[in-house]
Amino acid sequence: MSADRPAIRLRGLTKSFGAGNAVDGVDLDVVEGEFFSMLGPSGSGKTTVLRLIAGFEQPTSGTVSLQGKDVTDRAPFDRDVNTVFQDYALFPHMTVLDNVAYGLRVRGVGRRERHERARAALDTVRLGGFGDRKPGQLSGGQRQRVALARATVVQPKVLLLDEPLGALDLKLREQMQVELKELQRELGITFIFVTHDQEEALTLSDRIAVFNEGRIEQLGTPAEIYDHPVSPFVAAFVGTSNVFSDELSLRVLGRGGIHSVRPEKMTVERLESPLSGDRSATGVLAEVIYLGSSTRLIVDLDAGMRVVVQEQNDARRVGDEERGARVRVAWSDRDTVVVVADR
Ligand code: ATP
């Protein structure tokens, strides 16, 4: 691992499909062995960046370097990267083993060796006994693992993953997140992971780039992005956040600028109970949503803003029957994040 020779280096990467820039001057270094996520809403340019790295698209301007070599003008097959797509793109008429061995075959690896390596790759994703099946005889999660085995069998330096868990139900998705992380550690490959699911990005990544309108709005570790969002967009997009606009900050916090407070940093209490934080605002308890181990409480503040509060059930101070009642939301000043400082 070397800082001046990152696994991926993007400089001034721009892609226009006509109207406006889908990707707009992206500079990025991804370190070798990193689990790196590109997170952003639909249409923010994540997939296009991935396709530019893979070579499926040509940039309008800017460069893509892999392991210190400028590959901007190289064809996809001539780049040391591999892609796992959301729909897996498995060949339906081939067996699972042949699907996994395919990349080795086109690279001219002999039958015996490629079957050996394909079997080993299937073992890694815990599908050792499934080589003879056709993709149609597998579950969604199993197909997804075959796609991973197929992409990793050729031992690429970089693996690009475009919403690879998007087609799975929640339970399987959570299970596959863990497996994906383990697989990445085991193989030591650089992962570039595209998702619009902030929780998935926070759970899996070493670092995250938050995309908005073709640009990187914030780059950092999950904790940096969650605890110190640098813009209202990041604060609102990553996790749930109560964002106080300039005007509301003046009214509720007594100072200008844009501030945010995470739901789990706030409590809802009765007006007559002692104040538990050094900041508070009154309002009406609009909703109480039971989430299992915690509860989400929605309060419409008198100041004209709706806040979301999330409390552990054993720490709750108001009951469900208080829906519609006047309450106080309290929090501490140190949990108030300055998103944009007062000018
Ligand atoms: P999603 O999560 O929905 O896949 P994304 O963040 O990956 O979104 P992109 O797919 O990169 O976003 O798209 C960025 C912008 O570029 C969008 O406005 C999209 O409509 C546009 N775009 C992408 N591919 C093409 C194309 N081949 N032709 C024209 N416009 C395109």
Distance (angstroms) between ligand 1 centre and the Cα of 53 equals 15
- Sort 32 into a burial class: Cβ within 10 Å, 0-12 / 13-18 / 19+: middle
Tokens 């989400």, located at residue: 296
Residue 143 tokens, joined: 């197909």
Q: How many CA atoms lie within 13 A of 318 on its CB side?
A: 31
Instruction: Quote the ipTM score.
Output: 0.92
Q: What is the pTM of this model?
A: 0.83
Point out the least confidently predicted range of 81-85, 94-98, 113-117.
81-85
At a CB cut-off of 8 Å and minimum separation 6, what does 206 contact?
31, 34, 35, 36, 221
Residue 17 reports pLDDT greater than 80: yes
For ligand 1, atom 30, name the residue with the nearest CA. 17
Point out the least confidently predicted range of 15-19, 126-130, 173-177, 183-187.
173-177
What pLDDT is attached to residue 304?
A: 92
Per-residue pLDDT tens digits for 305-335: 999 999 999 888 888 888 999 999 999 999 9
Distance (angstroms) between ligand 1 centre and the Cα of 210 equals 16
Nearest atom, ligand 1, residue 57 CA: 27
Per-residue pLDDT tens digits for 44-72: 999 999 999 999 999 999 999 999 999 99
Question: Mean pLDDT in the chain?
Answer: 90
* pLDDT interval class at 5 (50, 70, 90): low
Residue 152 reports pLDDT greater than 50: yes
Distance (angstroms) between ligand 1 centre and the Cα of 99 equals 29
For ligand 1, atom 1, name the residue with the nearest CA. 42
Judge contact between 71 and 65, C-beta under 8 A.
Answer: yes
Judge contact between 340 and 258, C-beta under 8 A.
Answer: yes
Per-residue pLDDT tens digits for 157-216: 899 999 888 777 777 788 888 888 888 888 889 999 999 888 889 989 999 999 999 999
What pLDDT is attached to residue 1?
A: 47
Residue 2 reports pLDDT greater than 60: no
**Considering only CA atoms, which of 15, 39, 21, 14 is closest in space to residue 233?**
39
Domains of the chain: 8-237 (3.40.50.300), 242-340 (2.40.50.140)
What pLDDT is attached to residue 196?
A: 87
Per-residue pLDDT tens digits for 239-285: 778 989 889 999 988 888 889 999 999 999 999 999 988 899 999 99
What pLDDT is attached to residue 238?
A: 86
Residue 278 tokens, joined: 């050094």
Q: State whether the beta carbon of 48 lies less than 6 angstroms from ligand 1.
A: yes
Residue 74 reports pLDDT greater than 70: yes
At a CB cut-off of 8 Å and minimum separation 6, what does 94 contact?
102, 134, 135
Average pLDDT value for residue range 76-105 = 88
* pLDDT interval class at 302 (50, 70, 90): very high
Residue 124 reports pLDDT greater than 90: no
Pocket mutation for ligand 1, best pick of 24, 37, 47, 52 (most atoms within 8 Å of C-beta)? 47
